[in-house]
Structure 1
Amino acid sequence: MNDSPQKKAVSFKTIAEHHAGQRIDNFLMRELKNVPRSHVYRIIRKGEVRVNKKRVKPANKLAFGDVVRIPPIHIALIDPAIASKLLLKQLEQVVVLEDEHLLVINKPTGLAVHAGSNIPIGLIEAMRQLRPELPYLELAHRLDRSTSGLVLLAKTRQALQDLHTLFKTCGIDKRYLTLVAGQWQGGVKHIKNELLREQSRRKKIQVKAGGKIAESIFTPRKYYSDSTLLEVKLLTGRMHQIRTQLAHLGQPVIGDDQYGDFSLNRQYKKSHGIKRLFLHAYHVKCRLPTLGQAYNIEIPLANDLQKALNSELF
């Protein structure tokens, strides 16, 4: 590692056609690979980044031919994190589907989708190392670090734009399996409420008026003596949506160490071997509107979670 402070000269980048439509913050994070996300947002906020000589906001989208001014960067140069051979081998084994548009991964629990504070490498960085021949590879959506299951990576700019359109218009059928505390009452439930970040704890969400609308459909799949296996269909994709809504209903996800019942989590860990959040993204169905390609992808419950359900105690 070279941790001596360095100054990079100002640079200008002309946006190519395959980058058109991309958010400026995402473009910068790809261009400035070793620069912390917080620093990228800081230089945007301070007006040091300009597009066609004008100030921009993080969500502003780039157009073909735009000229982006990237200011001198004063940071310590840190060697890029290298994915371990073990991680790369594991990810090679969990590729569910790959074609000219998408790369679909069955993400293992415990792996963040991207690098961040105290997380040197995530799924997207590791997959770029695993597929160095791909000129373009981007996350189409996020999945909590503790959640396992399907993650879609776009191999082209158009595929990414199509997926973003689908997510914004509820045009993608995305479903999860989760185990919740207690007997689910009332059959299928369509839950719609507002979710807001807690001011004191920015990474925790609460059901509260004034937040963003969150909609989910909960369907009981199997009843156990003191818990219920649910299928959850997301109609929106808010941070911690499933976990927050279920906790608000008084039936938190088993193994949830943030919104759940801690004593119950300890009980299930001891008696059933459930050592993590029981939440798995198992189904995605969609048709890319511009490209026309249709997908209907379904994977089984993660091995550790299925093993827990198969135990004699259930």
Structure 2
Amino acid sequence: MLETLFEDEHLVAVHKPSGLLVHRSWLAKRETEFAMQMVRDQVGCHVYPLHRLDRPTSGILLFGKSAEVARIMQPQFAERGIHKEYLALVRGYLSEAGELDYPLKEELDKIADAQADQEKEPQEAITCYRPLHQAELPYPVGRYDSCRYTLVAMKPLTGRKHQLRRHMAHLRHPIIGDTSHGDGRHNKFYRDHFGVQRLWLLAKALCFDHPVTGERIELETRLEEEWLRLFEAFGWSTEQQAYRLLEPLGAD
């Protein structure tokens, strides 16, 4: 059963673990569990995914309980009315906050997108980011005697495929565990040293206007235990409150 973060008669939001597909795909025929079917069984009605999370990304996933609600919500995503924030662990020391405006060429699957326009122009892609914590571990990875990492908060202003992963790679600070755009040496180090194989990317916060009531909904999920174990090894706080991205309700 998936952890429910919000539910009413129109919407349901859950915490998706890393490794779980949102819905069935012919590219993963052997899989038997999908977030969409699991949520449907939990709430007792058909649900409509309002956005997507890549399979290796964990965190907040929002569904509508009717096609009408899904239709009303779509413009918020298209017109940047949705506030999304992520946490990621990246290679190296990222010292300053910034905004990356770097267009991305659409990533196409060789089979599924065989008929798509292969020469399509790069699309606008904008990501805001800010460093939160830094750590240096006394282990040689690659040509250095130690390895450095930064915990980064990121807010995508556009929704391109693998945008956060590709933008951080462009900044030369790839997300740890990213097998497509990351650094294989550091990925291997995390697998071997910490015994965890995953993409260190979490959809932490989601804010939107309720499609029926108009109320502003603010959701923030927890850090999973594997994150807290890693932070303990880094000497960082293991208190959930230390990593909130949204101000608590009632804060000045």
TM-score (norm 1): 0.64
How has the CA–CA distance of structure 1 residues 235 and 308 changed in structure 2, closer, same or farther, with 3 Å as cutoff? Answer: same
- Higher RCO, 1 or 2 (CA under 8 Å, sep at least 6)? 2
Which residue of the other structure, out of 66, 70, 87, is the alignment partner of 1:160?
Answer: 70
Shift of 1:271: 2.4
**1:108 matched to 2:17:** yes
Give the drift of 1:270.
Answer: 2.2
- Distance in 2 between residues matched to 1:143 and 1:235, nearest whole Å: 15
Separation in structure 1 between the aligned mates of residue 13 and residue 49 of structure 2, nearest angstrom = 10
1:137 equivalenced with 2:59 (yes/no): no
- Given the superposition, is the C-alpha separation of residues 234 and 155 from structure 1 closer, same or farther in structure 2, using an over 3 Å criterion? same
SS in 1 for 2:102: strand
The total of aligned residue pairs comes to 217
* Cα distance in 1, alignment partners of residues 109 and 64 from structure 2: 35
Structure 2 Cα separation of the partners of residues 184 and 252 of structure 1: 11
Alpha-carbon offset, residue 300 of structure 1:
1.9
2:8 to 93, 99, 112: 99
Instruction: For residue 196 of structure 1, report the CA deviation from its aligned partner.
Output: 1.5
1:160-199 pair list within 5 angstroms: 160-185=70-95, 187-198=96-107
Q: Which residue of 1 aligns with 2:186?
A: 264
CA 1:200–1:150: 2 relative to 1, 3 Å? closer
Of 205, 210, 213, the match for 1:288: 210
| One-letter identity of the residue aligned with 1:261 | D
| Unpaired segments ≥5 residues, structure 1 | 1-89
Q: CA RMSD in A?
A: 2.3
Q: Distance in 2 between matches of 1:169 and 1:210?
A: 21
Q: Which moved more, 1:269-278 or 1:227-236?
A: 269-278
Looking at structure 2, the residues matched to 189 and 239 of structure 1 have their Cα atoms a distance apart, in angstroms, of 21
Identity %: 31
Matches within 5 A, 1:1-314: 90-91=1-2, 94-117=3-26, 118=29, 119-132=31-44, 134=45, 136-185=46-95, 187-198=96-107, 210-225=121-136, 226-288=148-210, 291-311=213-233
Query: What is the one-letter code of the residue matched to 1:170?
Result: R
SS at match of 2:105: strand
Question: Do the aligned partners of residues 162 and 293 (structure 1) sit closer, same or farther apart at CA in structure 2, a change above 3 Å counting?
Answer: farther
Gaps of 5+ in 2: 113-118, 137-147, 237-252
Q: Could you tell me whether the CA contact under 8 Å between 1:272 and 1:313 is conserved in 2?
A: no
Q: Could you state the TM-score of these two structures normalised by the residue count of structure 2?
A: 0.79
